[in-house]
Structure 1
Amino acid sequence: EALRTIASTLKKTTWNFSLNPCEGVGGWRNPNPIEGSEDAVTCDCSFLNGTVCHVTSILLKTQDLQGSLPKELIDLPYLQEINLARNYLNGSIPPEWGALPLINITLLGNRLTGPIPKEFGNISTLRSLAVDSNQLSGTLPSELGSLSNLQRLFLNSNNFSGDIPTTFAKLTNLTDLRISDNRFYGLHINCGGEDVIINGTKYQADMYDRAPHYFESTINGWVSSNTANFIDDHRVPEGVTIWNNTSELKMIDPRLYGQARLSPVSFTYYAMCIVNGNYDVNLHFAEIMFSGNQTYKSLGRRIFDIYIQGKLMLKDFNIVEEANGVGKLVVKTFPVTITDGNLEIRLFSAGKGTVTIPDKGVYGPLISAISVDP
């Protein structure tokens, strides 16, 4: 009865219900499908000494089926594989499938809409999930990070948006991940600070201190490098490359600007696996080491160059001049086209600016946050 309902929902008309589907005849298995297609129902008849059969696989690939996905698959409790690739199916993915012991789910090349159900995070047996080339949308459920056996995850060519969940770092068996041609956020880093959510967007922590260093954020797909050491450093503590503000902050929401990443000479952020396309690279700055009053501590000058993709975008950039004061934010935006999935942002001091105000060791490029948005 479950197969009747499934056939009706899929609009599959060639199954002959007068015959046993586990015998492989009567439209239940096509031994000579056209090239690129599959048409088969497979059973396991080893239960109760060979007296009971259960459906374990349904392959209906390239059938031009025009129905929708049947939630009634839940009535096939031993189903391990469902392949409905390259049909004309519409509607959403049933969350009920999350209770099945599925190993392979292939739905590529249909007209499916809506999100991936969070219930899919319960399919501990799942090794392959392919939903590419549909019209799926929404954010990716963090629950997918619980799929410890997952080896293939194909999400490309949909309308997914938001951040890639940090839980994906737990997918240690994943060998093939495809996410291109979606609307994922590019990159958001709180330089020198902790994780913080601003207007619904999570800025990732960047808190590794000391120079020189090379830091890799394996969870979030970016690395940073910081060159050289501060010479004759009288700051307290000395040698640090993260600084907490000592100036009065003059912005409505200071959470991105209360700390900053700095370098004696140069630091670079490399973002990897960004979907190719057009982006705005937004660099957030606020001067937090000088004072804004009429004392010698206000006389410091920080001057550096900004490079993106190896190209000089701004020469002799001065945060205080651009922001019109100390403790005030300024965001510089640069349009960039990414063609190889990689982005490089580099700030470089060419030996300009003061080096002893308010203390020896206060010099070099400084940045508060980075956001890269499509």
Structure 2
Amino acid sequence: MKNLSFISLTANRLSGNIPGHLGSFTALTYLSLESNQFSGVVPPELGELVSLETLILSGNKLVGTLPEELAQIKNLTDFRVSDNNLNGTVPEFIGKWNQLRKLELYATGLQGPIPPAIFHLEKLSDLRIADMPGPEFQLPKKPIERKYLVLRNINLTGTIPENAWKVEKTLDLTFNKLVGEIPPNTIRRQFTFLSGNKLTGTVQDSFLQNSPNLDVSYNNFSRAPRCNSSNENNINWFRSSSSNNKLSDLLPCSEISRCPKYYRSFHINCGGQDVKNRRIWYEGDKGSESNAAARSYYRLRSNRGFSSTGDFMDDDNFYNDKYTLQSNSNLIDSGLYATARKTPLSITYYGYCLENGNYTVRLHFAEIEFTYEKLYNKVARRVFDIYIQGIQVQKVFNFTEEAKGSNRNFTIPFNTTVTDRTLEIRLYWAGKGTTVIPIRGNYGPIISAISVCYMFFFCLSFETYRLQGV
């Protein structure tokens, strides 16, 4: 066993502490304990694995800090510790791993600040840090070539430095506090996600032409988008600018500038066709394009739509059809729960031209992808956050646990208030849950249907719900 060089125990439902004697296998170059149920601290003995090149600890329940002994692993090229419950700050020694090519820190539990030396690692072509609290900071301006740069929801401020626009494949700076303007041009990049910042100015045609999938939603651009320039690409302009017309801001590339009438409800069969469930008619959104890496969709002669952003990273498929799901099981209701819409990052369903007042929102879920007919799917864990009208109403929500299994429907209701004729429901993947079952790139929120009704009495169904206030 002294010459053992490769250990992968990914998704084996292992629990307890990580055994310290793993540090005795000093010839190891690859160690993956991903997507198990390991708890306790990261054993300092792992620092004795001086030949290690890949260390993957993501998807566990690890606590404590990252031990300083890990600094001894000088040859590390790939380090991932996402989806854990660690504490403390990001250790300085990561910035001294000069051979590092990939670093993934999604929802680790660690806090910022992020050591500046990490951004200066010259071989680090794939840097992903997301959902990490900490003080505000600005990106350094040193030009480092990267293929992937994900810095999501980590309190970034200031302008986007010039070197960031040279990222080759995926640039994701969503949900920060970035300001300034987008440059007039950029290299051709498959995915550019800039949603949820404070960017201003306009987006030039030359930039659009090099952006097959671009999301600039939830920003402060001062001029309306030039929608005709982006017909061949997937561009999400939802709430990308601000003006005196709130409806035009909501639907910037539509011809709708005023409400023909005001509604008291909307009902959506997510990812499916129009369907009637009991007394309620649910409009489907199956007609929207399947490739929704950056997508804003609304239905004519209706009062609802959705805005979706994100790519299923590491699935090696730029043009997949994973954004809608279809059940193959005879255990699930063939109507409302037979389909679902899925997102790798964030999706906002919205209703507009609504009467102001109090509403009941019912969200319908069923796990139709990670189904228990295949035993390995029992290891899968889908969790996400839910926001209604910008307020977080569920954190690390796992509806499969609530429903007590797959292919079982679960409905959760909320009370909320509409004051500006619009209502928004957002599902957000905050880096938690499995990402490798059955293959890498399977994760993210899904939803089967949405029902929104004015007051509690307007479209009362035969069921009684315990309401949760927003």
TM-score by length of 1: 0.49
Q: Which has the higher contact order (CA 8 A, sep 6+)?
A: 1
Query: Based on CA coordinates, which of the two structures has the bigger radius of gyration?
Result: 1
Structure with the bigger percentage of strand: 1
TM-score by length of 2: 0.39
